[in-house]
Structure 1
Amino acid sequence: MPTDCISYPETNYFTPLILDYLTEKTSLQEFYNRFPKIENFEAQIREKKGNYDHSIRQILVEVLNDQYSQLEVSDSTRKNIDSLSAENSYTIVTGHQLNLFTGPLYFLYKIVSTINLTRKLKEEFPENEYVPVYWMATEDHDFEEINFFNLNGKKFKWNNADKRAGQTAVGGLSTEGLNEVFELFSAEIGGGEDADYLKDLFKEGYLKNDNLTDATRYIANELFGKYGLVIIAAGDARLKKHFIPQVKNELFQKLSYENTTRAVEKINSQGYNVQVTPREINLFYLNKEIRERIIERDGKFFVHETEISWTKDEILTELNDHPERFSPNVMLRPLYQEVILPNLCYIGGGGELAYWLELKSYFDAEKITFPMLMLRNSALLQTRKQDDKRERLNISIQELFLKQHELINRKVRKISNIDIDFSPQKEHLVEQFQHMYNLAEQTDETFLGAVKAQEVKQLKGLDNLEKRLLKAQKRKLKDEVERIAGLQNELFPNRSLQERQTNFSQFYAEYGETLIEKLMEELDPLESNFKILTFGK
């Protein structure tokens, strides 16, 4: 399978903050611990070993064994779970929402990046064990973000009849109603061995499991179990009790707000857009019916838009008795993860890394080791036929990533038999007006405004003529324009990166297990570039 790549800046899809992070810009270095180079992991291992509460390991293994009790577990995953009880075992983590049928393609890229990094670490530091972990976002409650996936340009949406959808954690939602999605999906995916596998995967995952957590675990395990992936749902009370000290700090000292607010101000001052704005208390209260913010007012604590309230002593009792009911939001979840896991590195997308970069000083205040932050691999999947079409249209890989109007204008100018670039005329006009400015200054300076107005008018006239000529040439070259637009629309659905739109099943139905095998071969998390992977002969 041929592979090309381009740099992240050339894609035009990554923010200045992430691009500067990837180049290790000096002004950003205070916002992270170590940059994820292979040689930096030795120090990270040493620091985490000295900072982690190793007594959590046995509870961690116990919880994981319980969560896997109804699954067929591969030897690799079983070995990885068991290894977590040893002090020389470390995790590499990626997190993701419980998107319907995995959601967009980048779900696969996250997990492949995570597994491949553990392999690289084992080669470099063989005295330790490295476990790839998928942290399921079971406590998120934004149902509208996860209840659909896109296949062949069509949206398959789950209309859940559960009245709690959108009100409480998605992980506990019933899978009722997914039989309707299954019927539509089955009709769309068609027949054949690989399509039948996908139908069985959907059916076994969603129609034979009662809740979204179990269904998602089943599907991720089926796809990646043979590679040793360990999947965790961290809402278990046995794990949450180890987070009680940090929850107390959040409730009574507001440590996260104090520290992240300062970090946000510094990041803003450098001209970057902040990903997440911290709250004074970054905790939700969670039960089967609700997940709502905890707020403090006049020394008492309340659950937003409910009748639930506590005094300080009462909320402490609730926390000690039911730690599982205290759910960290996006600002606290990273800390919780690093408290309960012997983790070295978090792998995520640009948006995730952006909010992690707000948290370093908060981790320091809590005296918890800040993990290394690695940008997940990104890729564009294309067929050999599409690549051949690109070459016939004389479009470079870099040009594919341009906005469509820019790409079409550039190609029309290139293939047109007349010159549609009026730059020489504009330069000549500016030169002519410079003489008129000099003349006005020598005679009557009050004419300078009139000269300027005339210059602007004539330059605008040339712009309009250029645009009309370009538009006329687009009409004349209509077939060529349509082929260019058609190819880009295939590779960039909804004018967005394919990995953020298309579900993996669209490619799995065509290439089967080869899809994941080739991703495992081609995606190197230590390579900082955007891959273009070509399938077919």
Structure 2
Amino acid sequence: MWQRNVLTTWPSALPEGLGGDWTGWSQQPHEATWSAERRQAVVDAVKRQYAAQGWTPPGLQDLEQDGCRVVTVGHQLVVCGGPAFLHHKVLSAIRTARGLELAWGVPVAPVFWMASEDHDWKEAARVDGASATHNWVPDDLSIPNPVGRLATSGLDALLRAWGEDGAPASMVNDLIQDLDAVEQEGGPYAQVFFRWMHRWYGDLGLVVLDPDDEALKASCAELWAREMRDEGVRHALEGTDAMEGPAHVRDNQLFWLGEEGRVGIVKGDSRDGTASWKAGQHDFVDPSQGWDAWAVHEAAHCSPGVLLRPLYQEMLLESACVILGPGEWKYWHQLPLAFGAHGVAFPALRLRDHGLVMSPELVQSGWQPRDGWMTVEQWEKWVLDGWMETHQDVLASHHAALIEATAAIRATGMELASELSGAGGAFEKGVDKAWTQWLKKFRRALKSQQPEAWSAFQKAQGALMREGVPQDRWANWQVLAGEEVNAWNEAWMAEPEVLTTSVWLHRPQT
């Protein structure tokens, strides 16, 4: 069963934000209204994207209300949902939206912002089963296309292999059904992931939005124009501490979507005292109609980088709050000055809830979150230290007796002849060395003489970390939950009025 705990329960330090009733928040969320123009652009896109799948968006009536606000969460298009923290983020967004709706008395919709334009497919292409990691290798990798635009070849084989490695059979069949529906229409991977997110969380009210949308990009063309005029994010952050943040501040935050895939726009040769740009083999010169008109016309080719994506998102959504992981929390904090320079409101940031499933072996081991994450080497030391402690009194007694005996032997020698002093000291050192070596062998013998207990401890560590990575960053939510996934989701919806970031621990029922 799941139990909610305070943020400091987590095995490693997390940003606490404001603390108190707003633990995990950068600031309290503002109740300002969502501008009608921006809201309508988003509503139109949502209708269009859901209609392409033959669906009606969840909570459409709420989105269309003047007072509606949104809680936004974004993530890469990880196959089969990837590591559990994707689901931790989404569930945090849904429950936070419900909590703010209760507090404010207006509709608050949870929106999933698909990171469909990310071109680092390797991060999105792996999913863990019960015993192994499964990797999707698309066919068309010679060109760095955005993940969302990749063809779906190879996905079916991955899904079936994952299904044989602990994933619930009913879920795998559903995901294959979604894949088949998209492949029949010749659609890209983004449409598959869109359907998966709707399948998992549509009934909880999650609205899925793909920002790789020409109309949405055209409505935010001023962002692209400012980058091309060299008046964008870097211009706003130049000379400030934000330049030293975790995310690299490029000269131009735009990428160009063209025949060469998604290629970063970089500085070319200066012309007539003004900056020029290039992306691969594509050169950009000052357009006769100006960058503003150019940005509208070329919007479909413009793709925001990591530090421009938040501005694109918030120019459209004006979120009441944004749900983030710890890494995202850090680079979003590079951007308040850029938001101000662009006239975009900087949202309240809320750290996602964190969850850990404690296996029966992990519970039995006596490990507690305060003990921290442990690699295999650290875990083995921790286990053996604990076992040695149970023998500590007996060993201490033997050691004391040994020290007393060697001291007596040395004293006897000294009484007989002073020249035996050196030999007595060497004897004491030899005994001490032998004792140390014996303790090491005794420690190893504890391990070899308890193979079943040792195996259980190894299994416990394997549930906690894999290859040095904490559970929530490798273990798949569907595999962990099995047929209980809906019950797990509902458990995380408990007490929506509690807005603080929480740590959830799942212990087996006894």
TM bucket by the smaller chain? Answer: 0.7 to 0.9
One-letter code aligned to 2:261: I
Q: Distance in 2 between matches of 1:178 and 1:347?
A: 29
SS in 1 for 2:40: helix
- Asked whether the equivalents of residues 287 and 294 of structure 2 are also in contact (C-alpha less than 8 Å), the reply is no
Q: Distance in 1 between matches of 2:497 and 2:441?
A: 43
One-letter code aligned to 2:487: T
In structure 1, the partner of 2:256 is: 285
Instruction: String of CA shifts for 1:261-288, please: whole Å, max 9, x gaps.
Output: 444358x6xxxxx320201111111136
In structure 2, the partner of 1:205 is: 178
SS in 2 for 1:174: coil
One-letter code aligned to 1:177: G
Q: Does 1:3 align with 2:3?
A: yes
In structure 2, the partner of 1:19 is: 15
SS in 2 for 1:208: helix
SS in 2 for 1:68: helix
One-letter code aligned to 1:58: Q
One-letter code aligned to 1:155: T
SS in 1 for 2:110: strand
Q: Does 1:366 align with 2:342?
A: yes
Q: Does 1:475 align with 2:463?
A: no
- Asked whether the equivalents of residues 96 and 496 of structure 2 are also in contact (C-alpha less than 8 Å), the reply is no
Instruction: String of CA shifts for 1:487-517, please: whole Å, max 9, x gaps.
Output: 1212322232211001223124342422322
Q: Distance in 2 between matches of 1:123 and 1:470?
A: 61
SS in 1 for 2:90: helix
Q: Does 1:138 align with 2:116?
A: yes
* 1:354 aligns with one of 317, 320, 330: 330
* 1:376 aligns with one of 306, 329, 352: 352
Q: Distance in 2 between matches of 1:112 and 1:59?
A: 26
Q: Does 1:56 align with 2:38?
A: yes
Superposed displacement of residue 121, structure 1: 0.8
* 2:28 aligns with one of 40, 46, 51: 40
- Asked whether the equivalents of residues 73 and 225 of structure 1 are also in contact (C-alpha less than 8 Å), the reply is no
Higher deviation after alignment, 225-234 or 508-517: 508-517
Instruction: String of CA shifts for 1:344-385, please: whole Å, max 9, x gaps.
Output: 1110100011100000111111121100111101111134x3
In structure 2, the partner of 1:92 is: 71
Q: Distance in 1 between matches of 2:438 and 2:278?
A: 60
Q: Distance in 2 between matches of 1:464 and 1:139?
A: 64
TM-score, normalised to structure 2's length? 0.81
The correspondence of residues 219-238 of structure 1 with structure 2, limited to 5 A, is 219-238=196-215
Q: Distance in 2 between matches of 1:400 and 1:485?
A: 16
**Distance of aligned partners of 1:62 and 1:255 in 2 relative to their CA distance in 1, 3 Å threshold:** closer
- Asked whether the equivalents of residues 382 and 534 of structure 1 are also in contact (C-alpha less than 8 Å), the reply is yes
In structure 2, the partner of 1:303 is: 278
* 1:66 aligns with one of 21, 24, 48: 48
In structure 2, the partner of 1:506 is: 479
Structure 2: state its 5+ residue gaps: 401-431
Superposed displacement of residue 189, structure 1: 4.0
The correspondence of residues 251-330 of structure 1 with structure 2, limited to 5 A, is 251-264=228-241, 274-287=245-258, 289-297=260-268, 298=270, 299=274, 301-313=276-288, 316=291, 317-330=293-306
- Asked whether the equivalents of residues 116 and 525 of structure 1 are also in contact (C-alpha less than 8 Å), the reply is no
**Distance of aligned partners of 1:288 and 1:411 in 2 relative to their CA distance in 1, 3 Å threshold:** same
**Which protein shows a greater Rg?**
2
SS in 2 for 1:303: strand
**Distance of aligned partners of 1:228 and 1:510 in 2 relative to their CA distance in 1, 3 Å threshold:** closer
- Asked whether the equivalents of residues 25 and 351 of structure 2 are also in contact (C-alpha less than 8 Å), the reply is no
Higher deviation after alignment, 368-377 or 151-160: 151-160
* 1:334 aligns with one of 305, 310, 333: 310
- Asked whether the equivalents of residues 377 and 524 of structure 1 are also in contact (C-alpha less than 8 Å), the reply is no
Aligned length: 463
Q: Does 1:490 align with 2:442?
A: no
- Asked whether the equivalents of residues 198 and 509 of structure 1 are also in contact (C-alpha less than 8 Å), the reply is no
Q: Distance in 2 between matches of 1:464 and 1:532?
A: 45
**Distance of aligned partners of 1:206 and 1:288 in 2 relative to their CA distance in 1, 3 Å threshold:** farther
**Distance of aligned partners of 1:412 and 1:179 in 2 relative to their CA distance in 1, 3 Å threshold:** closer
Q: Does 1:160 align with 2:138?
A: yes
* 2:149 aligns with one of 169, 172, 176: 172
* 2:373 aligns with one of 372, 381, 401: 401
Higher deviation after alignment, 137-146 or 327-336: 137-146
Q: Distance in 2 between matches of 1:523 and 1:71?
A: 31
- Asked whether the equivalents of residues 250 and 256 of structure 1 are also in contact (C-alpha less than 8 Å), the reply is yes
- Asked whether the equivalents of residues 91 and 343 of structure 1 are also in contact (C-alpha less than 8 Å), the reply is yes
Instruction: String of CA shifts for 1:146-205, please: whole Å, max 9, x gaps.
Output: 11211112121112112456x121111111222222332333347xxxx33212222122
Q: Does 1:148 align with 2:126?
A: yes
Instruction: String of CA shifts for 1:103-144, please: whole Å, max 9, x gaps.
Output: 111111111000000111111111x11010000011111111
Q: Distance in 1 between matches of 2:194 and 2:437?
A: 54
Q: Distance in 1 between matches of 2:110 and 2:15?
A: 26
Superposed displacement of residue 326, structure 1: 1.1
Superposed displacement of residue 332, structure 1: 0.4
Runs of 4+ in 1 over 6 A off after TM superposition: 462-468, 522-525
**Distance of aligned partners of 1:159 and 1:23 in 2 relative to their CA distance in 1, 3 Å threshold:** same
Q: Distance in 1 between matches of 2:2 and 2:160?
A: 36
Could you tell me the percent identity over the aligned residues?
20
Superposed displacement of residue 22, structure 1: 5.9
**Distance of aligned partners of 1:245 and 1:517 in 2 relative to their CA distance in 1, 3 Å threshold:** same
Structure 1: state its 5+ residue gaps: 25-33, 269-273, 426-461
- Asked whether the equivalents of residues 352 and 501 of structure 2 are also in contact (C-alpha less than 8 Å), the reply is no
Higher helix share: 1
Q: Distance in 1 between matches of 2:247 and 2:118?
A: 15
One-letter code aligned to 1:412: L
SS in 2 for 1:152: coil
In structure 1, the partner of 2:428 is: none
**Distance of aligned partners of 1:208 and 1:303 in 2 relative to their CA distance in 1, 3 Å threshold:** farther
The correspondence of residues 424-463 of structure 1 with structure 2, limited to 5 A, is none
Higher deviation after alignment, 106-115 or 257-266: 257-266
Q: Distance in 2 between matches of 1:87 and 1:70?
A: 25
- Asked whether the equivalents of residues 178 and 207 of structure 1 are also in contact (C-alpha less than 8 Å), the reply is no
Q: Distance in 2 between matches of 1:509 and 1:307?
A: 49
Superposed displacement of residue 38, structure 1: 11
In structure 2, the partner of 1:442 is: none
**Distance of aligned partners of 1:483 and 1:136 in 2 relative to their CA distance in 1, 3 Å threshold:** same
**Distance of aligned partners of 1:525 and 1:123 in 2 relative to their CA distance in 1, 3 Å threshold:** closer
Q: Distance in 1 between matches of 2:68 and 2:76?
A: 26
Superposed displacement of residue 252, structure 1: 1.4
Q: Does 1:343 align with 2:301?
A: no
Q: Does 1:109 align with 2:88?
A: yes
